Structure 1
């Protein structure tokens, strides 16, 4: 898939994205704020990129001018039951060097348009870490409504992860 915006392109992952992909997964901040996998192991990073390349609904956010990867955006199925078939959950992360420049807003807007027009979705959900107000503000600017907060506790670890869920309806 390819979606072309004014400043960004949403496209499929390519192995040539490895250097920029490694920058994203080697930044612990992306793991803490966006839930992106974290690794400093280049070989594991290469395996992660290959996984993203094969994952349906995962795409690269690239600059329109030079096709350089600057982020990841996903539109994932929420389940296979009848009531969930026309819904998706969106996630996104932008390399810290490219934040606060409008790229995320444009990419999310392109994906919303694609989801509602091309996939005929009725709902798009998005979640953010509770203490990550910047994407929360972005989602609200794009007419997502805050719905609820949930604890995504990891069993047997004692770790708790509070997440806010937002919903956009067609």
Structure 2
């Protein structure tokens, strides 16, 4: 994929992205707020990058001028049944030093346009940890509507993991 915006490019992962990718996965806040894998182990991080390179629907958010990775955005299938074929779920995370610069907004808008205009999707979903206000505000700004909240914690983990789901229809 190669989507070009005003300030960013959404593109496939490259080996050269590793330094910025490693910064993302070793920031525990990204795990806690966005569900991104967490590791401080450089070898494991290389394995994660290779996994992202193979994963359909996972892309780098890079600065247009420098091609430097600033984040990750995903557009994943929601299932194989006929009623889910024309739906996708978007997820994103931005490196903390690049937040509040419009990269997330532009990236999500590019994927929305791509999804509705190129893939002919009828629905795009997004979720956010309940206490992560920034993406919730962004989703609402882009026209997503709050639909429901679910606890995604494993029953035996004895913890709560509340997630809010948002929907955008064509």
Alignment TM class, shorter chain as reference: over 0.9
* In structure 1, distance between residues paired with 2:103 and 2:40: 26
* In structure 1, distance between residues paired with 2:32 and 2:107: 21
* In structure 1, distance between residues paired with 2:119 and 2:49: 25
TM-score (norm 1): 0.99
* In structure 2, distance between residues paired with 1:94 and 1:154: 27
Runs of at least 4 residues of structure 1 off by over 4 A? Answer: none
Contiguous gaps of at least 5 residues in structure 1: none
User: How far is the alpha carbon of 1:66 from its aligned partner?
Assistant: 0.5
* Pairing 1:32–2:32 present: yes
TM-score (norm 2): 0.99
* In structure 2, distance between residues paired with 1:139 and 1:110: 13
User: How far is the alpha carbon of 1:162 from its aligned partner?
Assistant: 0.1
CA RMSD in angstroms comes to 0.6
* In structure 1, distance between residues paired with 2:159 and 2:46: 28
Structure 2 partner of 1:45: 45
Structure 2 partner of 1:123: 123
User: How far is the alpha carbon of 1:101 from its aligned partner?
Assistant: 0.7
Structure 2 partner of 1:72: 72
Q: Tell me the matched-pair count.
A: 170
User: How far is the alpha carbon of 1:44 from its aligned partner?
Assistant: 0.5
Structure 2 partner of 1:109: 109
User: How far is the alpha carbon of 1:153 from its aligned partner?
Assistant: 1.4
* In structure 1, distance between residues paired with 2:53 and 2:155: 29
| 1:74-116 C-alpha deviation (Å, 9 max, x unpaired) | 0000000000000000000000000001110000000000111
Contiguous gaps of at least 5 residues in structure 2: none
User: How far is the alpha carbon of 1:159 from its aligned partner?
Assistant: 2.4
User: How far is the alpha carbon of 1:143 from its aligned partner?
Assistant: 0.2
